[in-house]
């Protein structure tokens, strides 16, 4: 969400940014919001002038009423002035109503105009134009065929999607036995990994109010992702980032405590509308999953450095689990409207012989902070907006796919990397049920 003053003073920069994001249909909104802003400022000035005049007339009424005690002829004049005050009050009420309507129109437009992207963001219309930056680990293709991930899980009696379909419908699953334990082990390891990086562990609310949803994400994403609780101003979170950033709504943070670095666990709920390819069956794209997230609330001058740290934490974590990954810079057309810069960390899939997304790291600049009024006072006592960032630590459904494929042996067993063994009761190897 951009500052209306910035749009007013830099309309061509805002329009050029819209073009870079391939959202030309939004170009007229810039002139429209500037015109509405001018009308709003004129209305505010008119209302202020009217209040000043009304106050003066009110004083005159008092003076005339005092004079009327000695000179009854002043009473008629007082009544005339009273009528002027009444008419001014009616007009002021109309102006205040108009002011509210204009503010709401401006707010709705500002929610749709995209954030100014970082100059380093590659320009392109969609994710096909995202740019690979670097790879970490050797992406190898084994000499034996890798089964689909649900088949690997089934070999351990570790998943039941048929029963989940009967209970909840498509897009849900039961995890069982060693696979369920592996799921929790990955989450616990991700939690401790981030705690060791100095992050504070947090379990947030899993439902949030609509104004928080509007503060942390775009309207398009909100409609396509969020589940609303019927009859309540509550939404199930799609990621813990939503409630973690919402924690700071309307807060003035002590500057000496910044940055705030938190890692949060939550279940996540997503509609996942639309058609998806065959590789997105199983537990790849589902309505309910669990995730360990990382968020940072910091001063503007520190956000670029934190962005680099966050995605590098993802690389380090995945490499510690023997999973090759690559960093993919998101192009302008693939950035959500609130994002200044974003990259994906993609894990190697030996079965597909390609990379797929497992983490998304984003710098949102002051977009969320402006919407939610998350501020701090600088060394001069001036109020400033914080910057917010987020990144996936681990989301076990996709993490499990990458983990199982990259640690699978030809005999169907799965190696447990050393860092994960303490969370698996010391197990070094998962053995399929058929081999026990």
Which tens digits make up the pLDDT trace of 302-340? 999 999 999 999 999 999 999 999 999 999 999 999 999
CATH numeric code, 127-435? 3.30.930.10
Query: Could you tell me the residue ranges of all domains in the chain?
Result: 4-110, 127-435
Q: State phi, psi for 304 to the nearest 5 degrees.
A: -65, -40
End-to-end CA distance of the chain: 58
Query: Which carries the bigger pLDDT value, residue 298 or residue 65?
Result: 298
> In angstroms, rounded to a whole number, what is the distance separating the alpha carbons of residues 118 and 130?
15
**Any idea of the CA torsion for 355, 357, 363, 368, to the nearest 10 degrees?**
160
* Percent of the chain residues topping a pLDDT of 90: 80
Q: What is the pLDDT of residue 68?
A: 62
pLDDT digits (tens, 9 = 90+) for 89-110: 788 888 999 999 999 999 999 9
Tell me what the pLDDT averaged over the chain comes to. Answer: 91
> In angstroms, rounded to a whole number, what is the distance separating the alpha carbons of residues 124 and 121?
9
pLDDT at 16 over 70: yes
Q: What is the pLDDT of residue 276?
A: 45
Fold match, 4-110 / 127-435? no
Q: What is the pLDDT of residue 397?
A: 86
Q: What is the pLDDT of residue 49?
A: 84
Q: What is the pLDDT of residue 322?
A: 94
Q: What is the pLDDT of residue 285?
A: 80
pLDDT digits (tens, 9 = 90+) for 209-264: 999 999 998 766 777 788 999 999 999 999 999 999 999 999 999 999 999 999 99
List CB contacts of 367: < 8 A, sequence separation 6 or more.
Answer: 1, 115, 338, 339, 340, 388
List CB contacts of 352: < 8 A, sequence separation 6 or more.
Answer: 279
* Percent of the chain residues topping a pLDDT of 70: 91
Q: Output helix, strand, coil percentages for the chain, rounded to the nearest 5.
A: 50, 20, 30
Q: What is the pLDDT of residue 388?
A: 98
pLDDT digits (tens, 9 = 90+) for 361-403: 999 999 999 999 999 999 999 999 999 999 999 998 899 999 9
Q: What is the pLDDT of residue 60?
A: 66
pLDDT digits (tens, 9 = 90+) for 145-164: 999 999 999 999 999 999 99
Query: Which carries the bigger pLDDT value, residue 82 or residue 315?
Result: 315
Query: Topology of domain 4-110, per CATH?
Result: Helix Hairpins (1.10.287)
């Amino acid at each position: 969400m951009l500052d209306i003053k910035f749009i007013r003073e830099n309309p061509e920069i805002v329009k050029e940014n819209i073009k870079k994001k391939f959202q030309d249909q939004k170009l007229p909104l810039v002139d429209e919001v500037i015109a509405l802003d001018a009308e709003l400022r004129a209305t505010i000035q008119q209302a202020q002038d009217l209040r000043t005049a009304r106050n003066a007339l009110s004083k005159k009424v008092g003076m005339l009423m005092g004079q009327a005690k000695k000179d009854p002829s002043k009473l008629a004049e007082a009544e005339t002035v009273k009528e002027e005050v009444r008419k001014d009050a009616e007009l002021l009420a109309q102006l205040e109503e108009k002011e509210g309507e204009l503010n709401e129109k401006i707010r709705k437009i500002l929610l749709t105009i995209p954030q100014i992207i970082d100059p380093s963001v590659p320009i392109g219309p969609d994710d096909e134009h995202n740019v690979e930056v670097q790879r970490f680990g050797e992406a190898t293709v084994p000499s034996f065929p890798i089964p689909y991930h649900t088949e690997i899980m089934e070999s351990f009696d570790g998943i039941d999607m048929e029963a989940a379909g009967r209970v909840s419908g498509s897009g849900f699953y039961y995890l069982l036995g060693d696979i369920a334990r592996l799921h929790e082990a990955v989450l616990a390891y991700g939690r401790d990994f981030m705690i060791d990086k100095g992050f504070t562990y947090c379990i947030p609310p899993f439902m949030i109010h609509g104004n928080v949803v509007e503060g942390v994400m775009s309207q398009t994403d909100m409609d396509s992702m969020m589940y609303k609780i019927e009859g309540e101003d509550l939404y199930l979170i799609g990621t813990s980032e939503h409630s973690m950033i919402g924690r700071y709504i309307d807060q003035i943070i002590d500057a000496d405590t910044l940055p705030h670095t938190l890692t949060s666990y939550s279940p996540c709920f997503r509609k996942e509308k639309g058609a998806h390819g065959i590789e997105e069956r199983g537990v790849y794209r589902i309505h309910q999953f669990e995730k360990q997230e990382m968020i940072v609330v910091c001063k503007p001058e520190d956000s670029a450095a934190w962005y680099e740290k966050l995605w590098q934490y993802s690389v380090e974590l995945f490499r510690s689990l023997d999973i090759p990954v690559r960093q993919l810079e998101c192009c302008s057309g693939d950035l959500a409207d609130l994002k200044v810069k974003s990259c994906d960390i993609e894990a190697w899939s030996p079965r597909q012989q390609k990379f797929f997304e497992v983490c998304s790291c984003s710098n949102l600049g002051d977009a969320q902070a402006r919407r939610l009024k998350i501020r701090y006072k600088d060394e001069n006592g001036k109020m400033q907006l914080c910057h917010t960032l987020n990144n996936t630590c681990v989301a076990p459904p996709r993490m499990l796919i990458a983990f199982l494929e990259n640690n699978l042996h030809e005999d169907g067993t799965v190696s447990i990397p050393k860092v994960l063994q303490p969370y698996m009761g010391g197990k070094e190897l998962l053995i399929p049920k058929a081999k026990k």
